[in-house]
């Protein structure tokens, strides 16, 4: 009976590890996406001439920064870290 309980605990532990790894990948992917959107927003801001759309850029930037801070805080609380994001290079 004790052997069965140990086996069940091991299986549960593996499932928990897989779930945590999946959550980590999801969180890091979301951080990368928000960082990408912030870079796009920077480009849009630099190219925009209409004052109303400049204002829209600013509000979007503030929203993206708030989301990024939230995701970073979540990652810190969960003890998740990674190497700095590197831009993907085009192959060819």
Give the range of the structural domain holding residue 48, as residue numbers without chain letter: 13-76
Handedness of CA 23, 89, 46, 56 (dihedral sign): negative
pTM (global) more than 0.85: no
- Could you read off the pLDDT of 42-62 as tens digits, one per residue? 999 999 999 999 999 999 999
The DSSP line for 21-90 is HHHHHHHHHHHHHHHHHHHHHHHHHHH---HHHHHHHHHHHHHHHHHHHHHHHHHHHHT---PPP-PPPP
Confidence of residue 40 (pLDDT cuts 50, 70, 90): very high
Residue 83 lies in a domain: no
In angstroms, the first-to-last Cα distance of the chain is 59
In-domain check, residue 71: yes
Residue 30 inside a domain? The answer is: yes
Report the domain count for the chain.
Answer: 1
């Amino acid at each position: 009976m004790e052997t069965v309980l140990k086996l069940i605990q091991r299986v549960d532990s593996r499932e928990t590890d897989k779930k945590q790894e999946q959550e980590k990948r999801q969180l890091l992917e979301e951080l990368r996406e928000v960082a990408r959107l912030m870079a796009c927003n920077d480009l849009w801001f630099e190219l925009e001439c209409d004052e109303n759309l400049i204002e829209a850029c600013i509000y979007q930037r503030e929203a993206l920064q708030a989301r990024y801070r939230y995701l970073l805080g979540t990652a810190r609380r969960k003890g998740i870290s990674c190497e700095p994001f590197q831009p993907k290079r085009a192959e060819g």
